[in-house]
Homo-oligomer: A and B are copies of this chain.
Amino acid sequence: MRTTETAPAEYLRLDNQICFALHAASRAFGSLYRTALRDLALTYPQYLVMLVLWEHGELPVKKIGEHLRLDSGTLSPLLKRLEAAGLVQRERSALDERSVTVRLTTAGDALRERAQRVPEQIATATGLTLTDLTDLRTRLHHLTTTLDAATPDPAADPTPE
């Protein structure tokens, strides 16, 4: 007698692997970025924040969090480190004193130039064609959207009778 039926087990084992595959791939990307970003003295999440700022110029913490799906618990200390590195400046908004505006310094803006070559390095390392990269990106984006929709928001009212 077995504790498990084999029929569901095969199916079930599969997505254990998909979650692990995603976890491992994410960490492998992390290692690669760590290497590529060493010269810029940025961590990978710091680089993501800089990308958002390079694109949008100036944003409140809240908006950065929306772009990156991160909350203040992660961003506050990260932004302090970027400020300590002289790359950004944080200033409490005059219009709404609750909000803190994050702005690039001259050094932060200048770093953009040196960061230009990073993505190409990464793309080469993936060994994928532009088409494959686009396709994978699309799938992952779609997957994230689906997963987010399927995950109950911990802040949501659990029983709104």
Interface, chain A (partner B; CB < 8 A) = 3-4, 8, 11-29, 31-33, 35, 44, 48, 51, 68-69, 112-113, 116, 119-120, 122-128, 130, 133-134, 136-137, 139-141, 143-144, 146-148, 150-152
Contact = CB atoms under 8 A, between A and B. Distances in A.
A147 B19 contact: no
Contacts of A152: 35
Nearest to A27: B69
Main secondary structure of the interface of A (DSSP, over half): helix
A137 B18 contact: yes
A12 B136 contact: no
Given A23-B48, A28-B151, A15 B122 contact: yes
A25 B140 contact: yes
Contact of A18 (B127, B140, B148): B140
Contact of A22 (B15, B19, B26): B26
Contact of A3 (B27, B113, B127, B139): B113
A151 B125 contact: yes
Contacts of A44: 19, 23
Contacts of A11: 119-120, 123, 130
B125 A143 contact: no
B3 A112 contact: yes
B140 A128 contact: no
A68 to B, nearest CB: 8
Contacts of A119: 11-16
A12 B118 CA distance: 8
